[in-house]
């Protein structure tokens, strides 16, 4: 299996991600072709960032404003596979949803140079697919800090759209200092969030098959303004990834506090959290709190468990091997009572066989509320459409 590890220790932007993937071995001709189908031929040069050689990708696109519909039409007109175009479209849906949450309506992308972003997103998605990886692990993302200038004046970094995009993802972030400026852009955040949603996994052992560095625009002597990418290859018997399991028992915490603890653990980066009723010493009823964590996050999550519940001890079982099925996500269009919507659906595969189909719950719930229908009925309709589409393709 091939694992892609992205290390945004100095932030992320579309050009940095594309450059790192190209430097790691992505198909350069294919990336240039798709970017040139929507803007000019990109410039790809080797630059130096604080002593590190990195690839700098310049789209050479002019500053433009486009509506979300215009952006999606331009994406769909690009010369690439349906899988790449679907991924690019989902990334722009993430950005548009963030803009709507902040401004109430997304008439155009505020902090995104539309054609520049289109080229960056298509380049990154094409490079990602050309690497043919089985999973992607994303290390903590540096956000930066201080004040930055945007279309609505000055405001603190990271941009509001960046924070909104990241709040709906599983990415672990690292706030920065006021002198760092903006390190993560909305486009960079949306690309990483989509990569993690489609093939996100934890770290695992393997041999290094490729290393790449993608350069940002700024060149600071204090720290290399690059994003690092690694390709790891694991033998078949190591298929899956490594996680850590945290556990603690509590018998004096009420349900509301436990519920708040679970939400905070998930928000802090836990991969999964469960509460298991159990009988403790002296016949007292209690709960076993079990947390699945990616290596490197256990200390922070254990601290959350302690502070939220008052427990004095958290057990940690490190390096537990976890089987991870291949997965992919795509938009499925369904119709209920004359209302048509595209819902994100996640497919699970083993070999060539799809064994699991799950519609994105938040999107299903929102549609069910609009239709005044039970969520389970809307979910069943969408997933049946997905199964039927799968049958037509096979």
Cα-to-chain-centroid distance, residue 271: 13
195 has pLDDT over 70: yes
Alpha-carbon gap, residue 318 to 320, rounded angstroms: 6
Domain co-membership, 114 together with 190:
yes
Q: What share of the chain is helix, strand, coil (3-state, %, to 5)?
A: 40, 35, 30
Give pLDDT, residue 153: 65
The pLDDT tens digits of the residues spanning 34-57 come to 999 988 889 999 999 999 999 999
pLDDT band at 394 (very low <50, low <70, confident <90, very high): very low
pLDDT of res. 283:
84
Over residues 352-381, the mean pLDDT reads: 92
Tens digit of each residue's pLDDT (9 = 90 or more) over 98-140:
888 877 765 556 545 578 899 999 999 999 999 999 889 999 9
Shared domain for 21 and 170, answered yes or no, is yes
Residues 218 and 250 occupy one common structural domain? no
Q: Residue 304: which CATH number?
A: 3.30.70.1380
Percentage above 90 pLDDT, the chain: 58
Distances (CA, A) of 62 to 38, 118, 190: 12, 12, 21
- Averaged confidence pLDDT in the chain: 88
Q: pTM score > 0.95 for this model?
A: no
Cis, peptide link before residue 212, omega less than 30° from 0: no
Helix 114-131 to helix 68-76 angle, to the nearest 10 degrees? 40
- Give me the pLDDT at residue 241, please: 65
pLDDT, tens only, 51-81: 999 999 999 888 777 888 888 999 999 989 9
pLDDT of residue 114: 79
Q: Look at 239 and 340; give whichever has higher pLDDT.
A: 340
Q: What pLDDT is recorded for position 291?
A: 95
**293-332 pLDDT, tens digit each:** 887 788 899 999 999 999 888 998 876 656 666 778 888 9
Q: Are residues 110 and 209 in the same domain?
A: yes
CA contacts within 13 A on the Cβ side of 187: 24
> How much is the pLDDT for 118?
93
Instruction: Determine the average pLDDT of the residues in 158-182.
Output: 89
Residues 6 or more apart whose Cβ sits within 8 Å of residue 268: 297, 300, 301, 304
Same-domain check for residues 8 and 115: yes
Looking at 238, 264, 288, the residue that finishes a domain is: 238
Lowest mean pLDDT among 172-181, 323-332, 350-359: 323-332
Single out the residue in 197, 214, 238 at which a domain terminates: 238
Domain end marker among 238, 256, 288: 238
168 vs 187, more confident: 187
**pLDDT value at position 238?**
47
223 & 254 share domain: no
> The tokens of 255 are what?
């349900």
Q: Has residue 189 got a pLDDT over 90?
A: yes
Same domain membership, residue 150 and residue 59: yes
Task: Judge whether 195 and 218 are in contact, CB under 8 Å.
Answer: no
Which residue range forms the structural domain that includes residue 63? 2-238
- Residue 248 and residue 233 share a domain: no
Residue entry with tokens 């404003």: 65
Distance CA 198, CA 192 (A): 10
| pLDDT higher than 70, residue 180 | yes
Does residue 92 register a pLDDT over 70?
yes
Domain tally for the chain? 3
């Amino acid at each position: 299996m091939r694992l892609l590890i992205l290390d945004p220790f100095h932030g992320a932007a579309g050009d940095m991600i594309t450059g790192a993937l190209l430097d790691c071995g992505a198909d350069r001709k294919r990336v240039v072709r798709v970017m040139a189908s929507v803007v000019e031929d990109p410039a790809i040069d080797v630059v130096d960032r604080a002593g590190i050689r990195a690839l700098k990708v310049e789209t050479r696109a002019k500053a433009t404003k486009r509506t979300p519909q215009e952006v999606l039409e331009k994406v769909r007109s690009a010369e690439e596979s349906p899988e790449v175009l679907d991924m690019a479209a989902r990334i722009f849906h993430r950005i548009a949803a963030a803009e709507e949450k902040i401004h109430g309506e997304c008439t155009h992308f505020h902090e995104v140079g539309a054609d520049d972003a289109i080229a960056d997103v298509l380049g990154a998605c094409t490079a990602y697919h050309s690497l043919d990886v089985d999973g992607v692990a994303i290390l903590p993302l540096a956000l930066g800090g201080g004040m930055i200038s945007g279309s609505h004046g000055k405001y603190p970094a990271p941009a509001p759209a960046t924070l909104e995009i990241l709040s709906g993802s599983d990415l672990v972030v690292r706030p920065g200092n006021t002198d760092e400026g903006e390190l993560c852009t909305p486009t960079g955040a949306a690309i990483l969030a989509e990569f993690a949603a489609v093939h996100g996994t934890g770290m695992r052992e393997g041999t290094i098959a490729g290393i790449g560095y993608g350069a940002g625009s700024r060149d600071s002597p204090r720290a290399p303004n690059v994003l690092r990418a690694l390709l790891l290859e694991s033998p078949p018997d190591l298929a899956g990834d490594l996680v850590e399991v945290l556990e603690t028992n509590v018998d004096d915490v009420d349900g509301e506090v436990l519920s708040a603890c679970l939400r905070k653990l998930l928000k802090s980066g836990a991969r999964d959290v469960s509460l298991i009723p159990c009988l403790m010493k002296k016949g007292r009823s209690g709960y076993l709190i079990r947390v699945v964590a990616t290596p490197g996050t256990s200390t922070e999550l254990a601290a959350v468990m302690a502070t939220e519940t008052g427990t004095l001890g958290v057990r940690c079982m490190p390096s537990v091997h976890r089987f991870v099925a291949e997965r992919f996500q795509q938009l499925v269009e369904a119709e209920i009572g004359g209302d048509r919507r595209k819902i994100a659906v996640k497919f699970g595969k083993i070999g060539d066989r799809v064994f699991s189909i799950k519609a994105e719950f938040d999107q299903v719930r929102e549609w069910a509320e609009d239709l005044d229908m039970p969520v389970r009925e809307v979910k069943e309709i969408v997933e049946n459409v997905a199964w039927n589409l799968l049958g037509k393709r096979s």
